[in-house]
């Protein structure tokens, strides 16, 4: 289990991270979301030891993380970077060797991942000759080539075409299913929602929410029901219920103490019910609400 405990970081007088904590369990894909400048990249850099935290610690398998463990992390930095003039094969083998693989393992692993990611035909080309999308695939191969025990990927999906997004999602899922804790950051919330087991939302250097998408939804929205059928007005006086929206024959209510059966009974009493369902707001909406709910707290 990758355990980030109470990390704080200041750059000069500016606090970038304050008391950030979350855990990523084996076999879990953890989505790390937040606006630009919220602290995602800084957190990941601290996990990799590229930056030092002012306080707090990063633990792996119940021990503080050290250089040897870090070498077994697969990392994709936000600032993509490879030697432009190095050949793809030489480059990946070099990185594999730096991560401690022997020459033979480095060669076979390079073959394996370039095939898996669809760039095997470009092994002999200089990195700079590849399209941006393909360079991105090489970058992912660079994170995977040493068979890492943990994956930390900063914006792995940015700049990818839909096919590459599919390939990459599949790779991440497979890696996680193989028991590897995987954490990635992204602004593509639909993708995060689809791919992640749990998500963490960071705003202004603080973790404002951590949990499954379901948990976050319930925490901030409560249960919201959509009822289609009886004309508006039937729910206005119902106890334990807040009417969120009512237009024509569609009424949206939030449960504040009442249970869904009471609501259904009240609706049926008012007229025929054609649709009765739970409203599940997309992650985008949940994210927006979580972040704005945290704002006054931060302003204090």
Partner 1 sequence: MSAPLSSVEAIRLVAKREFVTQVRSRSFVIGLIVTIVLFGVVGAISAFIAGQQSTSTLGVTPGASALAPALEATARTQDLTLEIRDVAEAAGRSALAADELDGLLVADPGGRYTLLGRDAVDERLAAVVGTAVRQTELTEALRAAGTDPDALEARSTVAEETLEPVDPDRGQRLALAIVGTVLLFISLSGYGQLVATGVVEEKQSRVVELLLATIKPWELLAGKIIGLGAVGLLNLVVLGGIAAIAGISFGLLTLPGAALGMFAMVLVWYLLGFFLFASLYAAIGSTVSRQEELNSVVAPMIFLLLIPFILTVNLLPGDPRNPLATVLSYIPFFSQTVMPARYALGTAELWEVGIAALLALVAIVVVVRLAGRVYRNSVLRTGARVSLREALGRAA
Query: Which residues, 146 to 165, sit near partner 1 by CB under 8 A?
Result: 146-148
63 scored as a contact of partner 1 (CB under 8 A): no
- Choose which of 98, 132, 245, 256 interacts with partner 1 (CB under 8 A): 98
Tokens 């704005």 belong to which residue? 292
Cα distance from N-terminal residue to C-terminal residue, the chain: 34
Residue 179 or 282: the one with the smaller Cβ distance to partner 1 is 179
- H helix intervals, the chain: 40-47, 67-70, 88-98, 103-116, 132-144, 162-177, 189-195, 213-221, 260-270, 283-299
Minimal distance in Å, beta carbon 163 to partner 1?
25
Q: Is 249 exposed, middle or buried (0-12, 13-18, 19+ CB in 10 A)?
A: middle
129 scored as a contact of partner 1 (CB under 8 A): no
Query: Which residues, 41 to 60, sit near partner 1 by CB under 8 A?
Result: 45, 48-52
Return the range that interacts with partner 1 (CB under 8 A); candidates 25-33, 56-64, 67-75, 115-123: 67-75
In sequence order, the 6+-apart residues with CB closer than 8 A to the CB of 131 are: none
Minimal distance in Å, beta carbon 17 to partner 1?
14
124 scored as a contact of partner 1 (CB under 8 A): no
For 277, the enclosing helix (H) or strand (E) is strand 275-278
Q: How many CB atoms lie within 10 A of CB 264?
A: 14
72 scored as a contact of partner 1 (CB under 8 A): yes
Residue 38 or 143: the one with the smaller Cβ distance to partner 1 is 143
Using CB under 8 A, list all residues that contact partner 1.
45, 48-52, 67-68, 70-73, 75, 77, 79-86, 94-95, 97-101, 105, 142, 146-148
């Amino acid at each position: 289990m990758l355990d980030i405990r109470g990390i704080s970081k200041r750059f000069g007088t500016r606090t970038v991270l304050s008391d950030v904590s979350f855990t990523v369990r084996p076999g879990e894909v953890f989505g790390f979301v937040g606006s630009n400048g919220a602290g995602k990249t800084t957190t990941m850099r601290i996990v990799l030891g590229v930056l030092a935290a002012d306080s707090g610690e990063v633990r792996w398998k119940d021990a503080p993380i050290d250089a040897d463990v870090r070498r077994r992390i697969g990392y994709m930095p936000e600032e993509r970077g490879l030697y432009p003039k190095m050949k793809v094969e030489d480059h990946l083998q070099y990185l594999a060797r730096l991560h401690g693989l022997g020459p033979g393992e480095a060669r076979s692993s390079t073959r394996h991942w370039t095939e898996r990611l669809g760039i095997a035909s470009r092994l002999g080309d200089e990195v700079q000759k590849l399209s941006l999308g393909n360079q991105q695939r090489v970058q992912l191969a660079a994170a995977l080539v040493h068979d890492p025990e943990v994956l930390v990927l900063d914006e792995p999906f940015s700049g990818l075409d839909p096919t590459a997004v599919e390939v990459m999602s599949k790779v991440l899922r497979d890696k996680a299913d193989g028991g590897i804790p995987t954490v990635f950051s992204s602004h593509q919330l639909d993708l995060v929602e689809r791919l992640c087991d749990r998500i963490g939302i960071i705003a202004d250097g603080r973790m404002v929410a951590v949990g499954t998408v379901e948990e976050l939804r319930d925490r901030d929205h409560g249960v919201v029901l959509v009822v289609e059928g009886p004309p508006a007005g039937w729910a206005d006086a119902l106890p334990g219920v807040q009417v969120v929206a009512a237009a024509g024959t569609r009424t949206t209510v939030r449960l504040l103490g009442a249970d869904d059966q009471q609501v259904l009974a009240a609706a049926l009493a008012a007229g025929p019910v054609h649709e009765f369902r739970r409203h599940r707001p997309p992650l985008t909406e949940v994210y927006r609400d979580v972040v704005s709910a945290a704002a006054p707290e931060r302003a204090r």
